[in-house]
Every structure is written in C-alpha cells, then in structure tokens.
Amino acid sequence: MSFSYIIIMPCSLTIHYRKNRKYYSFHSSFREKGKVRSKEVYLGNEETALKLLVDFNTKKPANERLLSFSGEKILSKVLEMLDFPKVIGDALPKGPKLDAGRFVEMVVVERALNAFSKWGLAANAHRESIFSLDPSVPAGKFTEANIYRYMDYLHPHLGTIQDSLVRNLLRISGLEMSQLIVDGTSISCFGNDEADNEGESNAESEGEESDSAGMAEGLDKYREVKRVHGYNRDKRPDLAQVNLMLGVNDQSIPLFFQTFPGNAPDVYMFEAVLEKYQAHYSPILANIRNRYMVFDKGNNNPGNFRALDALCKKWQFHFVASIRPSLVTVKKELQALTEEAPVIYTQKKTVVRGKTATLRLYGAPRTVLLYLNKEIMHQKQASFQEKVKLLEAEVTKVLAQDDPARDKARQVEGLLGRSGLRSCFEVQEQEDSVTCTPVKEKLDLKQNLLGKYALMTDDTTLDAAGILRIYKATSVVEHEFHHLKSHLAIGPVFHRRPDRIEVHIALILWGMMALALLRCLLKQHSQDFTFETLRAKIQKGHLSIGDHTCPGGKSYRISKSLNVGKVLKAIYQALKIKWEYFDITLVPTTVNAKQGSKTSAQG
C-alpha cells in the first residue's frame, strides 16, 4: 500500500487568467491507496506567488521538523517488492485499529536503520521519521506496548510468513539461486542463564561420539530457545547466549533461519535446520543444486562426522569443513606442499596455490584441499621468526639472573608456555644452572606449516578451485553475522521469553533481507556497496516540514527533501523512486508552533 508522502507525481504551477491578470496555484498529484489524486493550493497573483516561492526556498520555516526520509522510503520500496505488508496482513488477525502489515513493516524498517530497543524505536526513531506522518498508523499508536503486542501476534506465524517471503523473493529477476550455504553463530545475551533442567552434560555432548539414531530424541532437548551458556563464537564465555542457524543464497539474502538454546551442539542444529528446509522449502528452492553446510575445526571429531555424513546422505546436502593441520596425515601432506603448487585462485594481488588429495579421515575417504597463500605465508613466517627471536632474548635475560636454578627454570617454563612454543624447546635444570635449547626440527616444522591450510569435503565432484570457492562463500555469511551483531545489534538484550527472542531475531533478519536484496538490485546497476556503507548512504536524505506565515491571514506548510546527493539519486533511479519532494499545504494561521508540529505529525 502506498501513501501520498511516499509516491509524489510531478507538481507544477497552474496559471489562471481572470480579467487579464495571472493568478497562480500549486498543483500536485499523488497516489493514495492505489488511486491517483490531486490537490491545488492557491498562491495569489504573479508578484505574490513569486515572493512566496522565494520565501519557501530561502527562509527558515517556523516550528521546522527534520524527519528521516530516504532510508524509510528505500527499504519500504524493497519490502513492497516482496509484498511484505500483504504477507503480514494475511498472516495476522484483522483489526480495525491498525494496518498490521504496515505497522510491522515500519518496525522492520526502523529497526534496520536504528539499532534501538523497542522503547527507543517508539520514543525516538519513529517520532523523527517520515513514518510518523502515515495516517494508517497514527503516531500515538506506534508505542512500545503495541510493538510487543504485535510480536506476540507474529510468533505463531513466523514459518508461514517466511515461506511466503521466499516465494515472493524467487519471483524477482536477477537473483542468483545456484548455491545455498548453511552456517551458524552464537548471539550473546546479558543477564543470568535461564534454568536448564536438562543437566550440564548437554553442553559437553558436542564433543562426544554419537550417531544419527539418537538424534531425534536429543533434538527435543533443544526445541525451546533458552538463554544459556555454551560454546561462544564471540569469545565471551562469560555471557549467556542463543544460537542462530542461517541459510543464505549466493548474494547473502537470508532464505531461512532458526534459533536454538545457547548450549545446542552444532550437529543437532544442522539436523533441525535440514528437517525444516526439507519440510518447508524443498519445492520452493528445488532449483538450488549446490547445498552446503559449512563449519570450522571445532566440530572435528568422529562422532560429529558420522552424524553429518548420515545427514548429508538423507537430505542431499554436502559439507565443507576446515580441519586441523595438526592431524598426522594432514600435517604430512602440508609439509610437502610447496610454493610451486598449481594456482587455484587469484584476485588482485592475492594468489592461492594448492592441490587436492584423497585422505582417509574420520572413518571415510575424504577429498582434502591443501593450499597456501604465499604472501600470508611469508608474513606469518617472518612474524614467527621475530617471535622466536624475542622469546630467546627473554629466556637469555632470565637465565642471566642471579636466582636459584629452580626459580629460573619455572620462569623459563612460564615464558615458553605463554608463547605456545613449549614443545620447541628443551629445558634442563641442574643443581646450579639451567639451559634452554631450541629444537630446530620442531621450529622448522612449525614455521613450515604457517600460511598453509586444509579443507575437507564429502562432495567428490568439487575440484580444488570449487572447494575453495564454497569455503570462501562462507565469508559472506560470516560478514552477515558480523553486520547483524554489530550494526543491527541482533542480540536479544531486553528479552527473556523464548517466543519474543525468536520474533526479535526474525524482525531483524527481515530487515537484513531487505538490505541484502537492495544490495543485490543495486549491483545490477553497477552500484556495489558493503552492508555498512549501504546502510549509512541510504539514511542521508531528510525531510523538512515547517510553516510560513504570510501577511494577509494565510499560512503554508512546506515539506521538502534535503541532502539528496549523487549517490542517493542513483539509488532512487535504480529503484524507480522519485527523489524530489516538495509539497505545499494551506493551514489556518491560528495554528501555533506546538499545534502545528502536532498537525504535521498527523499529516
């Protein structure tokens, strides 16, 4: 649904002739509720009209309000491509008080533009937004209480809403749907853990061997989202957390997501997500041939790989995983990898060389990519040599002290332990002396492995370049996680109830979907932005609303767009949005500044 303040058609000065004199009116057309309407504001004769127009453009109006404008306009346009207001309106019960679809759209857009709490959205962001002029959601109805009320309305329908949005997304031309990447992250919360009646053993089960037969029973433990401690990917083990699994396409657009308690092991979350994918999205996304789960070294154990092999076979997925270079078989192959290996990836100054090998790992033959980045390898080796040099200097300094041998030995052991190089030195303590000798073979081996990496996959059709391409695609997901956690502040800081945590994350991911889709559409017009840059650029434009009181008992309310620069104009053009906004409304001169501001807010 569109409103007059969102789509403004060309405006003009209309000339009326009376008794051989010219009189001017401001004429504009706008679209409201799907219908084209027009209005005309009389300005006066030629001299008066000219003076008014000059004043409107040069003099500061009374009780001026500056409202955020461009970000709301752009993201609303993108969400309307997905029929977002209609999807929400169809899912929620009808009510006479508010347009539910428009209300939720406002929450999603304003939260994507402002990392505020629900109170902050209602008390600050909305009051300073063009949305406050929307007659379908009166400003007095956009409250914190109503936001929470609609969050509760949304929760039973999250799956249906996401299904509809994905269907609508697939109708947009130019989207790449050749690849699906599934990855997970932890989202830190503040406050105490929720009571976990399942016992402390749950958090430890990730590292234990298990098989797929016990998974269905195990999954029930993690159905309800809880804020609990678990493996924290943000290196904040002191904080409770929830876990998020996300599936994105080639262009970083979130297609599906699911939240879990913070102590849910990855292998269980992968199964739950794949079950959901198969149940809800299999017919919708049948054209996605390349489907991959991606995970890091933290999941490297036989039980997890046995379970993941079963999952991939059952649901026609593959995995690509980083593996520990310290594995004996892998270490041997990496030692033999040289800088003369074939080039498998180049970008600007980056050159990656590597080869594939079939190795038996975790109970099955695996395709393993062994690769190196020459530039990174040299940097790390130089840093390593400097680290060893500084360590040897510190050790020499300790050994030169006039302390008992036992004390010096303890200090040396401490230095070696903190450096992570304890195995590369031999410390011998005698009655009155201590020696510390570097083990050259071990130091050379450690240095040789720097800048070398290994990836493993169960997809036998992938060559070296293909494995690296899939794994590098995860950087897109990781960047998306970073943007969600930092700029969009996805952490459910103010929520305790599981249902509201899920809806809170859904609202932010819908905003992320709009940003990712916008980024994709702009790339088709040769406009490439990072998420952070794009989000900042689309918020530049503002709307000025204020009154001009003129002699003769008339007062005009003027609305005009400001700060619409070159970049914003290009974005507007790509989305076919009119970037110029100028409107005149005749208001009674008795309206004082305070009332005028209120009238403006109500449109």
Lowest average pLDDT, out of 32-36, 153-157, 217-221, 333-337, goes to 217-221
- Predicted local distance difference test score (pLDDT) of residue 235: 59
Burial 119-141 (b: 16+ CB within 10 A, else e): eebbeebbeebbbbbbebbebee
What value does the mean pLDDT take over residues 120-142? 89
- Predicted local distance difference test score (pLDDT) of residue 95: 60
For residue 383, pLDDT over 50 is answered with yes
Eight-class DSSP state of 192: P
Q: Give the residue with greater pLDDT, 164 vs 3.
A: 164
- Predicted local distance difference test score (pLDDT) of residue 211: 41
For residue 599, pLDDT over 70 is answered with no
Mean confidence (pLDDT) of the chain? 81
- Predicted local distance difference test score (pLDDT) of residue 23: 80
Most confident of the ranges 6-15, 129-138, 585-594? 129-138
In DSSP terms, which residues pair with 455 in a beta bridge? 322, 369
Q: Give the residue with greater pLDDT, 381 vs 243.
A: 381
What value does the mean pLDDT take over residues 399-414? 91
For residue 602, pLDDT over 60 is answered with no
- Predicted local distance difference test score (pLDDT) of residue 526: 92
What value does the mean pLDDT take over residues 434-440? 92
Share of the chain above pLDDT 90, in %: 32
- Predicted local distance difference test score (pLDDT) of residue 236: 62
pTM exceeds 0.85 for this model:
no
Task: For residue 590, give both structure tokens.
Answer: 């008795």
- Predicted local distance difference test score (pLDDT) of residue 488: 65
How does pLDDT run across 38-88, given as a tens digit for each residue? 778 878 787 787 888 788 877 888 888 889 999 999 999 999 999 999 999
DSSP three-state, residue 584: strand
What value does the mean pLDDT take over residues 377-402? 93
- Predicted local distance difference test score (pLDDT) of residue 480: 62
Task: For residue 144, give both structure tokens.
Answer: 């914190």
- Predicted local distance difference test score (pLDDT) of residue 237: 64
Most confident of the ranges 207-216, 322-331, 594-603? 322-331
What value does the mean pLDDT take over residues 569-598? 69
Instruction: Give rounded-to-5 percent helix, strand, coil for the chain.
Output: 45, 25, 30
Name all contacts of 478-485 with Cβ < 8 Å and 24+ positions apart.
478/183, 479/252, 479/531, 480/246, 480/248, 480/252, 480/254, 480/512, 480/516, 480/531, 481/183, 481/185, 481/244, 481/246, 483/512, 483/531, 483/532, 484/508, 484/509, 484/512, 485/185, 485/187, 485/234
- Predicted local distance difference test score (pLDDT) of residue 213: 40
| Measured torsion, CA atoms of residues 150, 156, 159, 162, in degrees rounded to the nearest 10 | -10
- Predicted local distance difference test score (pLDDT) of residue 78: 95
With cut-offs at 50, 70 and 90, classify the pLDDT of residue 37: confident
How does pLDDT run across 261-318, given as a tens digit for each residue? 877 888 888 888 888 888 877 776 677 888 888 887 877 888 888 888 998 888 888 9
Q: Is 449 exposed, middle or buried (0-12, 13-18, 19+ CB in 10 A)?
A: buried
- Predicted local distance difference test score (pLDDT) of residue 223: 62
Domain boundaries, the chain: 178-322, 329-457
For residue 203, pLDDT over 70 is answered with no
With cut-offs at 50, 70 and 90, classify the pLDDT of residue 397: very high
How does pLDDT run across 347-359, given as a tens digit for each residue? 777 889 999 999 9
- Predicted local distance difference test score (pLDDT) of residue 350: 81
Lowest average pLDDT, out of 124-133, 176-185, 508-517, goes to 176-185
Q: Which fold has domain 178-322?
A: Nucleotidyltransferase; domain 5 (3.30.420)
CB 525 within 8 A of CB 509: no
Q: Give the residue with greater pLDDT, 599 vs 84.
A: 84
Lowest average pLDDT, out of 198-202, 338-342, 543-547, 553-557, goes to 198-202
Lowest average pLDDT, out of 110-114, 396-400, 536-540, 555-559, goes to 555-559
Share of the chain above pLDDT 70, in %: 81
Strand 452-457 with 542-550, pairing: unpaired
With cut-offs at 50, 70 and 90, classify the pLDDT of residue 435: very high
- Predicted local distance difference test score (pLDDT) of residue 210: 39
Q: For residue 477, which of 178, 182, 174, 170 has the smallest C-alpha distance? A: 182
DSSP three-state, residue 424: helix
